[in-house]
Structure 1
Amino acid sequence: MPYTLLISYDIADDDRRSEISDTLAAHGARVQYSVFEVTLPTKKAVQQLRGTLRKLIDRDEDQIRLYLLPATVLNELVILGDRRLEERADFWIV
């Protein structure tokens, strides 16, 4: 049974924020600047992601919230507006 989570974060440091963003992007879709929808196959995978995120934050300065969503929530999802986020693309200026 897959687990769907809505994960939001407020990270004080740019380097930590980037690392957390990259970690979450490897597991799901960015739906707002600091919000991801993540679907993981098992409870163990959820626990592993939580552990990884816990290691990346500064507990005194940062906060990550993980909301476990019911299986049916994506079927009932309503999106207002057509704006899409563009993922950060690294580039070189020569």
Structure 2
Amino acid sequence: MCYDVADDDRRQAVSELLAGYGPRVQYSVFEVAMPSPHVFEELRTALVGVIDGEEDQVRVYLLRVPDLDKVTVLGERRLEEREDFWIV
């Protein structure tokens, strides 16, 4: 899944939502494995509730399991998730 979201708050909400379903592989791209159509529908509904349908866009590219072995990654760069926390 990838996204282009115009507003910072909505972008953060989409990012946090997708992070609950899979790893971030680029700044606006997550690899999300859906265990069932029901889970996908829940995520789709949540995303529609977060984005502005006229200003934002989320794209879902479906890959079949056999096609996952055909993914080619060039380069070793890894993104580190930013974890905000408080030490009290």
Per the normalisation by structure 2, the TM-score is 0.90
> In the alignment, residue 37 of structure 1 is paired with which amino acid?
E
Structure 1 unpaired stretches of 5+: 1-6
> In the alignment, residue 29 of structure 1 is paired with which amino acid?
P
Higher fraction of strand: 1
Deviation at 1:73, TM superposition (A): 2.0
Structure 2 counterpart of 1:13, from 7, 20, 34: 7
Find the aligned partners of 1:61 and 1:88 in 2 and give their Cα distance: 26
Structure 2 unpaired stretches of 5+: none
Deviation at 1:89, TM superposition (A): 2.4
Q: Output the aligned Cα RMSD.
A: 1.2
Structure 1 counterpart of 2:46, from 34, 49, 52: 52
Runs of 4+ aligned residues of structure 1 deviating over 2 Å after TM superposition are: none
- Specify the SS of the correspondent of 1:54: helix
2:69 paired residue number: 75
Percent identity of equivalent pairs: 53
Per the normalisation by structure 1, the TM-score is 0.85
Tell me whether 1:38 sits opposite 2:32 in the alignment: yes
Find the aligned partners of 2:71 and 2:59 in 1 and give their Cα distance: 20
- Specify the SS of the correspondent of 1:78: coil
- Specify the SS of the correspondent of 2:75: coil
- Specify the SS of the correspondent of 2:80: coil
